[in-house]
Chain A
Amino acid sequence: MQGLDFTVVAPYWDLLLIGAWWTAVLTVSAGALSFVGGILFAVIVLYAPKIVAYPVRALMWVFMGTPLLLQLFLIYFGLVQIGIDIPALAAGIVGLGLHFAVYNADIIRAGIVAVDVGQTEGARSIGFGKWQTLRHVVIPQAIRNTAPPIGGNLIALLKESSIVSVIGIAELVHSAQLAISETFRPFEFYITAAALYYILNLVLEAALRRFERHVEVSR
């Protein structure tokens, strides 16, 4: 039996920090995609003609009904077979981003529907068109009202991003595994990786709280 000895981590500190950096990059990129995609999907499902809305709903249904791991395998390994070769990092961002976009879309859709119809009438009476009204009046309010659950999804995304290590992206868990394969010290490295995730989460939560406080001002 080995005792715990965290000094083994020191030589791998740079590797772990680079891993944490890529986790942050993944979270920010996939998070942005999941946010923009969520708005886009919500608007399409609510307002687009059926010929556009139905395929998008089908896509959403597939993304919600299948595991993220399988989706990543399909995007990274599967698409190559039909001639679409995506770099691992891009596949990871797209997979994570679309997966969470579907969840965000459901939340934002509810948020849009909940905005008082008087807001739309107020905007239309000034002369704003349908899309201008959505863009400048309805969607900003829907986002503000649904900020807490969308923030929750972003935090989930940060943690779920560890799964893209399976397609070889050098994020935090991947770095920890690399270090473990050289040192055979899983406990120290997994604990350290967990601590780094926790710190990243604290930063993200602080940013979300800042946004929510900013939104509170207008209530």
Chain B
Amino acid sequence: MSTQRPMVEVRGARKSFGAVEVLKGIGLSVDRGQIVAIIGPSGSGKSTLLRSINHLESLDSGEVWLDGVQVNQKLHGHAFERHINKVRQQMGMVFQHFNLFPHLTVIENISMGPIILKGMTKSDAHALAHSLLSKVGLADKIDAYPSRLSGGQKQRVAIARALAMQPKVMLFDEATSALDPELVDEVNAVMKQLAAEHMTMLIVTHEMRFAGEVADRVLFMDGGVIVEEGPPGDMFRAPQKDRTRSFLKKYLSA
């Protein structure tokens, strides 16, 4: 495994919003099938790091690579548009606020990408959407509009929508932060299922227990740098840095 090229690689990532530098030279490598959880306080830069991997944020400097292809290539105008659209098709992104399309039904939300971007026939795309909905336990909601779904159901549809493009990696940006506590488990269950299928995943989360259960590696970010990283067992039981300890204390005692 270690001789393989990484699925996701970030080198020297820097990013400022105005005068505030939110990423201060981040490096990160994720192997195929690996699951990495990114934890840290609000404003630590973890969401920005995740969003810069699929170029929803553009880095000021540094490189992002996906499976041997540079994501933030120095191309201009239409050439970059074409390039980034192709690259994004290979990365699934799940947002805190779902970002489902409210004017489309569940099955339309899921099949739209494959139909328009991959030229899949409507019936093939619907069959694919149907199987993905069964997988996330929502086969009975195919014709519902998102407004009729609970938060947990919306997020499961959003995961199915991302999976419909058959991505090489899934990026989760606080996927359960906007959910009522009793709805969190149903989304976590779907993510665990993906983990069991060896999907490569980067998970930005505030849920330490879930991170501990699902991740191969945990990164603790603070102030735009990766303070500490390691297997979840070591990180949660015996963090090396004071900053990590004080952060984890608040979460694990709660």
Binding site for B on A (CB under 8 A): 116, 118-119, 121-130, 132, 136-137, 140-141, 144, 217-219
Question: Which of A124, A126, A129, A144 contacts B103 (CB under 8 A)?
Answer: A144
A136 contacts which chain B residues (CB < 8 A)?
112, 116
Q: How many pairs of A and B residues are in contact by the CB < 8 Å rule?
A: 68
The reply to whether the CB of B52 lies closer than 8 angstroms to some CB of chain A is no
Pick 13 A–B contacts, CB within 8 A, sort by A: A119-B99, A125-B99, A125-B162, A126-B89, A126-B112, A127-B85, A127-B89, A128-B113, A129-B85, A136-B116, A141-B102, A218-B103, A219-B147
A122 and B99 within 8 A (CB): yes
- Bound Cα distance from A144 to B103, whole angstroms: 8
Question: Which of A118, A129, A130 contacts B99 (CB under 8 A)?
Answer: A118
Once A128-B117, A217-B145, A219-B147 are accepted as A-B contacts, the answer to whether A122 and B101 lie under 8 Å apart by CB is yes
Binding site for A on B (CB under 8 A): 54, 56, 81, 85-89, 91-93, 95, 97, 99-104, 112-113, 116-117, 145, 147, 158, 161-162, 165
A125 and B93 within 8 A (CB): yes
B117 and A122 within 8 A (CB): no
B56 contacts which chain A residues (CB < 8 A)?
121, 124-125
B86 contacts which chain A residues (CB < 8 A)?
127
Q: How far is the CB of B224 from chain A (nearest CB, A)?
A: 22
Once A136-B112, A218-B147, A219-B147 are accepted as A-B contacts, the answer to whether A124 and B88 lie under 8 Å apart by CB is yes
A217 contacts which chain B residues (CB < 8 A)?
145
Q: How far is the CB of B96 from chain A (nearest CB, A)?
A: 9
Once A136-B112, A218-B145, A219-B147 are accepted as A-B contacts, the answer to whether A125 and B103 lie under 8 Å apart by CB is no
Q: Please report whether the interface of chain B is mostly helix, strand, loop or mixed according to DSSP.
A: mixed
B97 contacts which chain A residues (CB < 8 A)?
118
B99 and A121 within 8 A (CB): yes
B103 contacts which chain A residues (CB < 8 A)?
140-141, 144, 218
Q: How far is the CB of B175 from chain A (nearest CB, A)?
A: 13
Interface centre among B86, B99, B116 (most CB of A within 10 A): B99
A118 contacts which chain B residues (CB < 8 A)?
95, 97, 99
Residue of B nearest to A135 (CB): B116
- Bound Cα distance from A123 to B56, whole angstroms: 11
Q: Please report whether the interface of chain A is mostly helix, strand, loop or mixed according to DSSP.
A: helix
* Additional pairs, 20, CB under 8 Å, beyond known A127-B87, A137-B101: A116-B99, A118-B97, A119-B101, A122-B100, A124-B56, A125-B54, A125-B56, A125-B92, A125-B93, A126-B112, A126-B117, A126-B161, A127-B89, A127-B117, A129-B85, A140-B103, A141-B101, A218-B103, A218-B104, A219-B147
Residue of B nearest to A120 (CB): B99
Which 8 pairs between the two chains have the least Cβ-Cβ distance?
A122-B99, A127-B89, A125-B93, A118-B99, A127-B88, A126-B113, A218-B145, A127-B85
- Bound Cα distance from A141 to B145, whole angstroms: 14
- Bound Cα distance from A122 to B86, whole angstroms: 15
Q: How far is the CB of B52 from chain A (nearest CB, A)?
A: 13
B89 contacts which chain A residues (CB < 8 A)?
126-127
Residue of A nearest to B118 (CB): A127
- Bound Cα distance from A140 to B109, whole angstroms: 14
Question: Which of A125, A128, A130, A219 contacts B102 (CB under 8 A)?
Answer: A219
Q: How far is the CB of B202 from chain A (nearest CB, A)?
A: 13
Question: Which of B88, B112, B145 contacts A125 (CB under 8 A)?
Answer: B88
- Bound Cα distance from A140 to B91, whole angstroms: 25
Q: How far is the CB of B13 from chain A (nearest CB, A)?
A: 18
- Bound Cα distance from A151 to B93, whole angstroms: 37
A128 contacts which chain B residues (CB < 8 A)?
85, 113, 116-117
Once A118-B95, A136-B116, A217-B145 are accepted as A-B contacts, the answer to whether A126 and B101 lie under 8 Å apart by CB is no
- Bound Cα distance from A137 to B100, whole angstroms: 10
Q: How far is the CB of A216 from chain B (nearest CB, A)?
A: 10
- Bound Cα distance from A217 to B81, whole angstroms: 35
B147 contacts which chain A residues (CB < 8 A)?
218-219
